[in-house]
Structure 1
Amino acid sequence: MPRLASFLVVLLPLLLSAVRAAAHSNGGFGFKATLRHVDANGGYTEAQLLARAVQRSRARVAALQSLATSLPANVITTARILVRASEGEYLMDMGIGTPPRYYSAILDTGSDLIWTQCAPCLLCVDQPTPYFDPTQSPTYVRLTCSSPMCNALYYPLCFQKVCVYQYFYGDSASTAGVLANETFTFGTNTTRVTVPSISFGCGSINSGALANSSGMVGFGRGSLSLVSQLGSPRFSYCLTSFLSPTPSRFYFGVYATLNSSNTSTSGPVQSTPFVVNPALPTMYFLNMTGISVGGDLLGIDPSVFAINDADGTGGVIIDSGTTITYLAQPAYDTVRAAFVSQIKLPLLNVTDASVLDTCFNWPPPPRQSVTLPEVVFHFDGADMVLPLPNYMYSDTSTGALCLAMAPSVDGSIIGNFQHQNFHVLYDLENSLLSFVPAPCNLT
């Protein structure tokens, strides 16, 4: 019997380890987290919140378009992730190291790299927490130049046999440092998980701004992204109303499902396949087939939404880091014309570039009743029927009613303003985006 007991003492940890590994590989791994808007608790007015978000979104779109048009010309530009570090919209907390030090990071579905600023910092920008100090964590390991994750970088560099990364975010922000492995902690108290050997960038030379965060966490489709490294290829979010102080919710792995008690959904779940753009494989492209306004399918040529096979430009991206939706110019012009013809209010002459440009004058109280047309985004196999707050913004200070969309010179981006109060699921294993209306402010 003592021999058996000793055997069990040795065997039990191995069995538990095997069970954990099996649960991880079978999709049993996951966590829940909250998302905070980067401008939450900033004391901004509604108009200021919108203006700041529009400004960030325009910079993000400009960076994406610059990247897409320059890709064939210079191999170094392939290292450029699609956004500036200052242009994210939602923050997620995560712990780095042993013991974990907690940081807020910009969640970005448009890039892959996970990174934070590290001490000693040669050139760093302000952040709300101290810089991560790798010398204080025994689980920190710098990666060699021959490591697979180093080779996954768009443009890996090598210095004294250590893997060095450099990422550019648009024109004015960048991060550079050592690529390393470290233990990360994710989730809330009830679903907190600790995962070893997550590859991340320990940045010692950084420029730009971080929008109240301490770095970025990429949820793109590349091997360096968190969703790829954790090996449970599904995540979802439920974004509260743009002007709501209530945090949004995020689900990963086993918790990322639209058929659970996560949210009280309404209506059927709809799904549409992701489309791979070889020129920009990190991004989540969709096959958009049309737009309806006021029940009328608009006469937009399908090629307006298509990816250009020659250079990868064009196409339609769903993106958590862009606020308003940007439509390729021909599509935007058609949508704008439909609104102008269907809304019986005077069109405002907007000259301020920081705000929306399709705005109507709604006279002061007692205001007349006005009928606003319904908007539907049509995708391959799915229709996203937008609630009124997801496409019209009412400026209470001026009475203006504005379409929360803008024109783009290349491609289209479905922004998070249109995701409000939808539970949106990214299923990478089946290459599907699914969504269903849900009251995201419910806890």
Structure 2
Amino acid sequence: MTYRKLPSNQPFCQGGNSPFRCHNNECVYDIRNGDLSQPTTPRTKGVASFETFHIPVDSSHTRMINDMIFGCSNDNSDTSFENSQISRILGLSRRPDGLTSQLAKRGIIQNRFSYCLVPFHDELKRPSILRFRDNIPRPVKNLRSTPFLNIDRNHYYVELKDGLGGSLIDSGTLVSRIDENTKSFEVFYYNKVGFRDFATMTLHFKGGDYLIDGKYMHYFSDEKKGEGYFCVALSKSSKTILGAWQQQNMRIIYDMNGGRLQWVTETCANDHSP
């Protein structure tokens, strides 16, 4: 058995700004994701632990990595899933305890990772694959990029034109958030059968535009019947966050070596395992 709890004297539990703290000789955590100014944001609590991870190298081989730090959560809430029922939360932040940070420190992923989110309402369910290093596809054309801003060590900020303080990209936030003046979910529209002329939205990042297809700018009350109501899938916030809903069918590449975020439109259902 390779599982063991993180010692309470471990450096992660000593920092004043850390989500970890010592409690009853255990290193416990209480982590909230997304915009903390909101009354409800995804939250997870548990015990920090060590475990051996097996990372796929190709279709038939895995690499065993000892003493990976992970959170053994026993309390998850406000996760935007029915009854907050989820299997686990994958932490991809820039913090030293993030999965990608740990793998990069060991020289495994070259500080680059990528994902392509399969549309949530596709009838044929396929997994969204997290890729590293040379396993990341190389788009031939239309690849856009924008430099990361060093606002804090935890999150991925990029510069949004006319956006004060930059914009945060977070796949753990379901729908994108913009300033307090947006109507967002407050206004619903009747969706006639066959209507598909939904408005797109463009985020003007420094270095390139991020064009969001109209299908992923709206939330539909009854997708299968093709009728019902829909609304603009944006939520009020004190900061701008590009959430998972607006990342569907988009190849997102986090290139920490190059200090940039890259993206290109892609049919993510075609992104198969190696």
Q: CA distance change for structure 1 residues 421 and 191 in 2, over 3 Å: closer, same or farther?
A: farther
Question: Are residues 1:316 and 2:181 paired?
Answer: no
2:54 alignment counterpart: 185
Q: CA deviation at 1:362?
A: 4.5
Question: Are residues 1:236 and 2:123 paired?
Answer: no
Match of residue 421, structure 1, among 240, 244, 249: 249
Counterparts of 1:413 and 1:176, CA distance in 2: 26
Q: CA deviation at 1:220?
A: 0.5
Deviations, residues 156-176 of structure 1 (Å, cap 9, x unaligned): 2164xx552231446895523
Q: CA deviation at 1:213?
A: 3.5
Q: CA deviation at 1:419?
A: 1.1
Partner secondary structure for residue 269 of structure 2: coil
Deviations, residues 305-359 of structure 1 (Å, cap 9, x unaligned): 212xxxxxxx4211112222222134x35xx8xxxxxxxxxxxxxxxxxxx3343
Q: CA distance change for structure 1 residues 241 and 185 in 2, over 3 Å: closer, same or farther?
A: same
Counterparts of 1:420 and 1:249, CA distance in 2: 10
Number of equivalences: 249
Superposed CA RMSD: 3.2
Partner secondary structure for residue 128 of structure 2: strand
Query: How does 1:237-256 map onto structure 2 within 5 Å?
Result: 237-244=115-122, 245-256=124-135
Counterparts of 2:200 and 2:71, CA distance in 1: 44
User: Residues 90 and 99 of structure 2 are in contact (CA less than 8 Å); yes or no, is this contact kept in structure 1?
Assistant: yes
Query: How does 1:279-318 map onto structure 2 within 5 Å?
Result: 281-289=153-161, 302=162, 305-307=163-165, 315-318=166-169
Same amino acid, percent of matched pairs: 21
Deviations, residues 255-313 of structure 1 (Å, cap 9, x unaligned): 45341xxxxx57411111122333xx322222111xxxxxxxxxxxx2xx212xxxxxx
User: Residues 202 and 210 of structure 2 are in contact (CA less than 8 Å); yes or no, is this contact kept in structure 1?
Assistant: yes
Q: CA deviation at 1:221?
A: 0.7
Query: How does 1:36-435 map onto structure 2 within 5 Å?
Result: 137=1, 139-151=2-14, 153-157=18-22, 159=24, 162-169=25-32, 174-177=44-47, 179-187=48-56, 189-203=59-73, 206=75, 208=77, 211-231=84-104, 232=109, 233-244=111-122, 245-259=124-138, 267-278=141-152, 281-289=153-161, 302=162, 305-307=163-165, 315-330=166-181, 332=182, 356-363=185-192, 372-393=198-219, 395=222, 397=225, 399-400=227-228, 402-435=230-263
User: Residues 41 and 78 of structure 2 are in contact (CA less than 8 Å); yes or no, is this contact kept in structure 1?
Assistant: no
Unaligned runs of at least 5 residues, structure 2: 33-39
Partner secondary structure for residue 217 of structure 1: coil
Counterparts of 1:220 and 1:175, CA distance in 2: 17
* Bigger CA radius of gyration: 1
Counterparts of 1:383 and 1:372, CA distance in 2: 19
Q: Which AA in structure 2 matches 1:272?
A: T
User: Residues 175 and 235 of structure 2 are in contact (CA less than 8 Å); yes or no, is this contact kept in structure 1?
Assistant: no
Q: CA distance change for structure 1 residues 389 and 190 in 2, over 3 Å: closer, same or farther?
A: farther
Q: CA distance change for structure 1 residues 185 and 172 in 2, over 3 Å: closer, same or farther?
A: closer
Counterparts of 2:140 and 2:175, CA distance in 1: 24
Counterparts of 2:211 and 2:88, CA distance in 1: 34
User: Residues 114 and 251 of structure 2 are in contact (CA less than 8 Å); yes or no, is this contact kept in structure 1?
Assistant: yes
User: Residues 240 and 421 of structure 1 are in contact (CA less than 8 Å); yes or no, is this contact kept in structure 2?
Assistant: yes
Counterparts of 1:422 and 1:171, CA distance in 2: 24
Q: Which AA in structure 2 matches 1:379?
A: F
Counterparts of 1:142 and 1:370, CA distance in 2: 52
User: Residues 219 and 233 of structure 2 are in contact (CA less than 8 Å); yes or no, is this contact kept in structure 1?
Assistant: no
Unaligned runs of at least 5 residues, structure 1: 1-136, 260-264, 290-301, 308-314, 337-355
User: Residues 150 and 163 of structure 1 are in contact (CA less than 8 Å); yes or no, is this contact kept in structure 2?
Assistant: no
**Structure 1-normalised TM-score?**
0.49
Q: CA deviation at 1:406?
A: 2.4
2:37 alignment counterpart: none
User: Residues 286 and 379 of structure 1 are in contact (CA less than 8 Å); yes or no, is this contact kept in structure 2?
Assistant: yes
Q: CA deviation at 1:433?
A: 0.9
Q: CA distance change for structure 1 residues 324 and 146 in 2, over 3 Å: closer, same or farther?
A: closer
